[in-house]
Amino acid sequence: MEPTAKSEITLQGIAASRGIAYGQVFLYLQSELEIPQYSVDPDKRPAEIARFEQALLVTRQQISQVQDQVAKDLGPEEALIFDAHQMVLEDQALIGETIRDFEKSGLNIEMCFNAVAQRYIQAFSEIDDEYLRERAADIKDVAKRVLHVLLGQSALGLGDLVEKRIIATHDISPSEAASIDRSAALGIVTDAGSRTSHAVIVARSMKIPAVVAAADLTTKVQNGDWVLVDGYDGVVIINPNEQTLLRYGQIRKAKESFETRLMAVNELAAETLDGVKVALRANIEQADEIGLVKQYRAQGVGLYRTEYLFLSTGAMPDEEQQYAAYRAIVEGLAPLPVTLRTLDLGGDKFLADGPQSISQEANPFLGYRAIRFCLDNPEIFKTQLRAALRASAHGTAELMYPMISGPEELDRANALLDEARGELRARGQAFDENLRTGTMIEIPSAALVADLLARKCSFFSIGTNDLIQYLIAIDRGNSRTAHLYEPTHPAVVRVLRQVITTGHEHGIKVSVCGEMAGDALYAPLLLGLGVDELSMTPTLLPAVKYVVRAMKMSDAQALAAEALRQTDPKKTAALVEAFYRERMKLE
Ligand code: PEP
Ligand code: MG
């Protein structure tokens, strides 16, 4: 660790993903490009055209560099896409039209180039041919690079990051997070965000230390600065001095020995001291995480967020692509169960080239999201259902619907599932006839009518991330209100109890797959309230298993009973914390 001469700045944010990282910053500012407009004097016009040609050349060199790096890191196939980008740069129509527009209008070249590029993007995106539509995305990408060069700004996207760096950014979208190369990102620090924003969930599953809501961080840090990220305590230190680095060297050692202590239980059963076995499953976003599911000995996948398949490609995959992805997971983990959650787009998850209708809403978390979008687009939904059903023939799959608000929606979803089954039968394609279907309980109205829903499905999975945000009206991604997002709020404790009891009265299993389930602090409370199963980011499994093995279920039940009596969320939080610290043998 090399200390730096600049003065040290410490920022307190929210600890979002465990770990300590130290490295140089890659400042990623994704603000929309502002393109100036001005007239170019006639005598300066040849120079303006030369500037444009130079920008095309520089862009070509940039793309070649990225292409070489991708070919080296990922293989020649993946690098092929950049050939299409180079072709855009050589497109005489695009270049010729820009120069003609420039000669006619006399406006600066970036203005003319942007106008022509936008016309092309619009025209290609309206063509009813998938190959040509993809060209629109290529032009968009290349045009952005050319404009960045003309305006003298860095055009690097997060997906281009290949050197090991700490990513510093205002906020990060789930698709941007999914595009990060995990071997290149040492850590992530943001100005905004919260513990349950989707991008943070992705960082956690990639084991990348992260701190969010470190206010104004991006105004204090510069590209290339050295930064220390403490994802345990939510601290970011810019230009740490020698003493700080020494101190963190010790902290890191202590944390590593704590992690080693946790990992010692990895191979052991998740069983309490009084002999109650607890089911611990994994949450995954991508097929390549099945290695982690096995490594951390999860008893299957309790939540597979299928929308990341859509987010990582930026478009709607067809039935075959979806089938291949779902099958790889179901078959790869068989006979362990895998719960595929149907598409949950909207909220903070949008496709770059997806239906425009689901972005740009005033309140996306209350808008056209998840099952609402799917029921409104039955062909998209049934394509997914058929793919999931076909994958179910290769192992143990379960299906669950996100954002169900009441029984009528559940009926409609199940009716479309029946139609999808009928279509597969007509095609003679196999699927598991006994596929179990579940309902996510993450909207307060669903919790209130849990009895009506329980009759129509085989299990409940409580999505505490959304349930808490909707119950106490706290935007899960807003750092300003993050302190009010309290899992120990009496309303949360009561609702959890009620859903669990109702599920059990109707003979169905109740699991929790929100971030609360993977927090060793809250796991005893959830288990004490009667939850049958916890599902979490794989890397969090050892800590939860550790606390399960160190507690008695009867004590967890007493903790839950006390939480149900409490009126003050802070007092309940203190009880939960004391329970945890004692079991984890922490001072
Ligand atoms: C939840 O809301 O708790 C959940 C698990 O779903 P997501 O985080 O994907 O919204
Ligand atoms: Mg949710």
β-strand partners of 283: 303
Compute the average pLDDT of residues 99-116.
Answer: 94
Residue 510 DSSP code: E
Block residue for tokens 């072709």: 87
In tens, the pLDDT along 338-393 reads 999 999 998 888 776 555 445 568 888 999 999 999 999 999 999 999 999 999 99
Q: Is 394 a catalytic residue?
A: no
Locate the ligand 1 atom nearest the alpha carbon of residue 466 and give its number. Answer: 2
From 185, 214, 240, the end of a domain falls on 240
Q: Which of 333, 321, 320, 322 is nearest to 289 (CA)?
A: 333
> Does 359 share its domain with 416?
yes
Helix, strand, coil % in the chain, rounded to nearest 5: 55, 15, 30
In tens, the pLDDT along 63-86 reads 887 777 667 755 677 677 778 888
Residue 432 DSSP code: -
3-state SS, residue 428: coil
CATH number reported for the structural domain that contains residue 88 in this entry:
1.10.274.10
| CA–CA gap between residue 373 and residue 386 (Å, rounded) | 17
Is the C-beta atom of 285 inside 6 A of ligand 1?
no
Task: Please state, as a whole number, how many other Cβ atoms lie within 10 Å of the Cβ of residue 535.
Answer: 26
Is the C-beta atom of 514 inside 6 A of ligand 1?
yes
Residue 350 DSSP code: -
Residue 487 DSSP code: T
| Atom 8 in ligand 1: residue holding the nearest Cα | 465
| Atom 3 in ligand 1: residue holding the nearest Cα | 463
Locate the ligand 1 atom nearest the alpha carbon of residue 515 and give its number. Answer: 3
* Residue 263 belongs to a domain: no
- Contact, 167 vs 158, CB < 8 A? yes
| CA–CA gap between residue 475 and residue 405 (Å, rounded) | 18
Locate the ligand 1 atom nearest the alpha carbon of residue 514 and give its number. Answer: 3
Give the pLDDT confidence score for residue 353 in this predicted structure.
Answer: 57
The strands making up 14-17's β-sheet, listed across from edge to edge, are 9-12, 235-238, 226-230, 20-28, 165-169, 185-190, 210-212, 14-17
Residue 311 predicted with pLDDT over 70: yes
Contacts with 103 (C-beta within 8 Å, 6 or more apart), sequence order? 45
> Does 313 share its domain with 381?
yes
> Does 187 share its domain with 115?
no
| CA–CA gap between residue 584 and residue 261 (Å, rounded) | 10
User: Which of 169-183, 274-288, 469-483 has the least mean pLDDT?
Assistant: 169-183
From 240, 264, 299, the end of a domain falls on 240
Pocket test for ligand 1, best of 195, 196, 499 (most atoms within 8 A of CB): 196
Per the model's pLDDT, the better-predicted residue between 194 and 44 turns out to be: 44
Compute the average pLDDT of residues 300-328.
Answer: 92
* Residue 245 belongs to a domain: no
> Does 143 share its domain with 162?
no
Is the C-beta atom of 305 inside 6 A of ligand 1?
yes
Is the C-beta atom of 344 inside 6 A of ligand 1?
yes
- Contact, 102 vs 109, CB < 8 A? yes
> Does 195 share its domain with 304?
no
| CA–CA gap between residue 442 and residue 386 (Å, rounded) | 25
Pocket test for ligand 1, best of 349, 465, 515, 531 (most atoms within 8 A of CB): 465
Is the C-beta atom of 339 inside 6 A of ligand 1?
no
Give the pLDDT confidence score for residue 231 in this predicted structure.
Answer: 95
Q: Is 513 a catalytic residue?
A: yes
CATH number reported for the structural domain that contains residue 425 in this entry:
3.20.20.60
> Does 146 share its domain with 166?
no
* Residue 438 belongs to a domain: yes
> Does 206 share its domain with 310?
no
Task: Please state, as a whole number, how many other Cβ atoms lie within 10 Å of the Cβ of residue 254.
Answer: 10
Tell me the DSSP string of 226-271: EEEEETTTTEEEES--HHHHHHHHHHHHHHHHHHHHHHTTTTS--B
Per the model's pLDDT, the better-predicted residue between 322 and 144 turns out to be: 322
In tens, the pLDDT along 399-430 reads 999 999 999 999 999 999 999 999 999 999 99
- Give the Å distance between the CA of 98 and the centre of ligand 2: 46
Residue ranges making up the domain that contains 218: 9-30+157-240
* Residue 111 belongs to a domain: yes
β-strand partners of 349: 346
- Contact, 368 vs 376, CB < 8 A? yes
- Contact, 314 vs 351, CB < 8 A? yes
* Residue 578 belongs to a domain: yes
Number of compact structural domains in the chain: 3
Tell me the DSSP string of 278-333: -EEEEEESSGGGHHHHHHTT-SSEEEEETHHHHHHHTS---HHHHHHHHHHHHHHH
* Residue 270 belongs to a domain: no
Residue 34 predicted with pLDDT over 80: no
- Give the Å distance between the CA of 467 and the centre of ligand 1: 8
End-to-end CA distance of the chain: 29
- Contact, 461 vs 339, CB < 8 A? yes
Amino acid sitting at position 499: V
Query: Which of 198, 394, 457, 489 is flagged as catalytic?
Result: 198
| CA–CA gap between residue 49 and residue 36 (Å, rounded) | 17
> Does 132 share its domain with 78?
yes
* Residue 579 belongs to a domain: yes
Residue 506 predicted with pLDDT over 50: yes
In tens, the pLDDT along 527-538 reads 999 999 999 999
| CA–CA gap between residue 572 and residue 566 (Å, rounded) | 6
Residue 136 predicted with pLDDT over 90: no
- Contact, 583 vs 550, CB < 8 A? yes
Give the pLDDT confidence score for residue 157 in this predicted structure.
Answer: 67
Q: Which of 550, 549, 583 is nearest to 277 (CA)?
A: 549
Is the C-beta atom of 464 inside 6 A of ligand 1?
yes
Mean pLDDT (the chain) is 90
| CA–CA gap between residue 86 and residue 60 (Å, rounded) | 6
Residue 206 predicted with pLDDT over 90: no
| CA–CA gap between residue 188 and residue 231 (Å, rounded) | 9
* Residue 251 belongs to a domain: no
Q: Which of 258, 252, 259 is nearest to 296 (CA)?
A: 259
Beta strands at 279-284 and 533-536: parallel, antiparallel or unpaired: parallel
> Does 501 share its domain with 355?
yes
Pocket test for ligand 1, best of 440, 462, 533 (most atoms within 8 A of CB): 440
CATH number reported for the structural domain that contains residue 205 in this entry:
3.50.30.10
Element (H, E) at 35: none
Locate the ligand 1 atom nearest the alpha carbon of residue 402 and give its number. Answer: 6
From 127, 151, 175, the end of a domain falls on 151
Locate the ligand 1 atom nearest the alpha carbon of residue 513 and give its number. Answer: 5
> Does 493 share its domain with 381?
yes
> Does 183 share its domain with 88?
no
> Does 409 share its domain with 489?
yes
| Atom 1 in ligand 1: residue holding the nearest Cα | 463
Contacts with 355 (C-beta within 8 Å, 6 or more apart), sequence order? 373, 377
Residue 490 predicted with pLDDT over 80: yes
